[in-house]
Amino acid sequence: MNQSIKNKIFSLEKELIAFRRNLHMNPEIAFEEVETTNRIASKLDELSISYQRMNPTGVLAEIKGSYPGKIILLRADIDALPVTELNTSLSYQSKVLNKMHACGHDAHAAMLITAAAALNEVKEDIHGTIRLLFQPAEEIAEGARKMIEQGAIENVDNVFGIHIWSELESGKVSCPPGPSFAAADMLTVRFKGKGGHATMPHQTVDAAVMASQFVSTIQTIVSREIDPLHPAVVTIGKMEVGSRFNVIAENALLEGTIRTFNNDTREKIESSLSQYAAHLAHLYGGTVEVKYDRKTEPVVNEYKSAQLVQSVAEDAFGKDVVREEPPTMGAEDFGFYMSKASGAFALIGSGNAEKDTCWAHHHGHFNVDEEALKVGAELYAQYALAYLSQSEF
């Protein structure tokens, strides 16, 4: 543990909270984070940390140590959600109608900018380079890919990210090796039959029947075709079928999501969904179009990186801080960075019943216990120094 880092972040706690609240009051959704980018850039200017603005939004900064070494990337997402804030008593309530930081990205950005301030003061002792990525558009799973296209991950040896987590007790840290967040894919299926009058079904091909059979039948993919030790979710969340009560439907549109931790499982489900759709369309005399869109990669903590996070957290905050949260079928586009370099993704607990911060992410009442912010800021910084100080990894 670097005591100078701990002392610096402790001294910056009020600024850390103020920066987070400023972002919270001025939320901007995916690829619209212009003022958020400006605020981050302005703070980096104050700190004399070099950076580049990304296209169309986001910031990539860099702190070069005095000694040669590896490159580590620290990432924070910065976008808000199209959610109406319901916390009307907050002094820092969102000032933008139907937009809100309902997932903690304001906290992530504030923690990373504070970590940057602390790291910049010890850069003479750093062996290697620390990149600081303030990433847009995580909520639509496009930001990470956009940053990678612009060189953010080039020559990077290790990546580390943090997410505030309302289901975990405030101030606790979770980063077990293995799966953390699932790959999230989107399925679109369009059945086409032959419409007609409800009283003459023999003259038609009913798209509603094809769609209904598809929804019920595909659940056997998970229950009968997938290894039960490899979790998977197949959900159809939207159906648009037919136009009138006495007209047999000619068209049916279905949309759904698939969540997996294992890419072999993912490929099997994708293949089976297409086969099921084709067979059902053929059986009933219709046609079908299937689109399978891979939105994010799974977030799987590399063993050594996760072990280092746990070790750093114990040294910095005590052994009782470390927890092991189970994997979630929720998605995070941080997995795209992990497909390019080893790394880890930690959860920082922000749940505190007394402060009413246990609401689910994406809920209009979501908020964070700001006592946890200094934990996240310090973990960013201490992990980076610990990784770069190792002779081998």
Q: Which residues pair with 292 in a beta bridge?
A: 187
C-alpha distances out from residue 191 to 43, 78, 241, 246, 247, Å: 53, 39, 9, 19, 16
- 117-167 residue pLDDT tens: 999 999 999 999 999 999 999 999 999 999 999 999 999 999 999 999 999
What is the token pair recorded at 248?
């047999």
Judged on CB neighbours under 10 Å (0-12, 13-18, 19+), 224 is exposed
pLDDT one-digit tens code per residue, 87-124: 999 999 999 999 999 999 999 999 999 999 999 999 99
Does 3.40.630.10 match the CATH number of domain 3-181+298-389?
yes
pLDDT tens string 294-316: 999 999 999 999 999 999 999 99
Average pLDDT over residues 22-50: 98
Instruction: Read off the pLDDT of each residue in 2-17 and give the average, rounded to a whole number.
Output: 96
In contact, 350 and 107? CB cutoff 8 Å: yes
Q: How many angstroms separate the CA atoms of 87 and 177, rounded?
A: 36
pLDDT of res. 335: 97
Mean pLDDT of the chain: 97
Quick check: 339 and 148 in contact, CB under 8 A?
A: no
Q: What is the pLDDT of residue 393?
A: 59
> Does residue 355 surpass a pLDDT of 90?
yes
What beta strand segments (E) does 127-197 contain? 127-135, 158-169, 173-174, 178-181, 183-192, 196-197
pLDDT at res. 266:
97
Do residues 173 and 324 touch, judged by C-beta distance below 8 A?
no
Residue 391: per-residue pLDDT: 62
User: Hey, which residues are catalytic here?
Assistant: 79, 138
What would the mean pLDDT of 343-348 be, rounded to a whole number? 98
In this prediction, residue 390 carries a pLDDT of 86
User: CATH topology of 3-181+298-389 equal to that of 183-294?
Assistant: no
Confidence tier at 1 by pLDDT (50, 70, 90): confident
What letters, b where the CB count within 10 A reaches 16 and e where it falls short, cover 97-122? eebbbbbbbbbbbbbbbbbbbbbbeb
Percent of the chain with pLDDT over 70: 99
Q: Could you tell me the residue ranges of all domains in the chain?
A: 3-181+298-389, 183-294
Q: Does domain 183-294 have CATH number 1.10.357.10?
A: no
